[in-house]
Amino acid sequence: VQLQASGGGLVQAGGSLRLSCAASGDTFSGYIMGWFRQSPGKEREFVAAIRWSVGSTAYASSVKGRFTTSRDNAKSTAYLQMNSLNPDDTAVYYCAAKRGGTLSGTNYDYWGQGTLVTVSS
């Protein structure tokens, strides 16, 4: 399984970005796709997850109501739409995949490379 994250960049506070995670190497109907982020000096933290088969989602409290994760079955791509961004959202964002499990679990089998999101004040 390979995961390719993209879409990071520099945005002003209050702005939006959409991250993409292109997945390949398997059929993902039985997978959960997750998003994590890591800021300098901080531990990696869970952001959001989506169960590929039914589209159910989970979010960290810090992003709930601002971020939305979705997937496109035809493109084998997951998305993280980020709105109302603030400087605390600045981090390297990673997508990850695991076979089954719970939406809230943070042990993933596969990881993509990170994409940097910088939010200026």
pLDDT tens-place string over residues 3-53: 999 999 999 999 999 999 999 999 888 999 999 999 999 999 999 999 999
Calculate the CA 13 to chain-centre distance. 19
Taking the alpha carbons at both ends of the chain, their separation in whole angstroms is 37
User: What's the rounded mean pLDDT across residues 54-60?
Assistant: 96
pLDDT of 32 reads: 97
Per this entry, what is the length of the chain? Answer: 121
Contact 36, 44 (CB under 8 A): yes
Question: Within 10 A of 99 (CB to CB), how many other CB atoms are there?
Answer: 13
The pLDDT tens digits of the residues spanning 66-121 come to 999 999 999 999 999 999 999 999 999 999 999 989 998 889 999 999 999 999 99
pLDDT of 84 reads: 98
User: Which DSSP category does 113 fall into?
Assistant: P
pLDDT of 100 reads: 86
Contact 116, 38 (CB under 8 A): no
pLDDT of 106 reads: 86
Structure tokens at 33: 């796709």
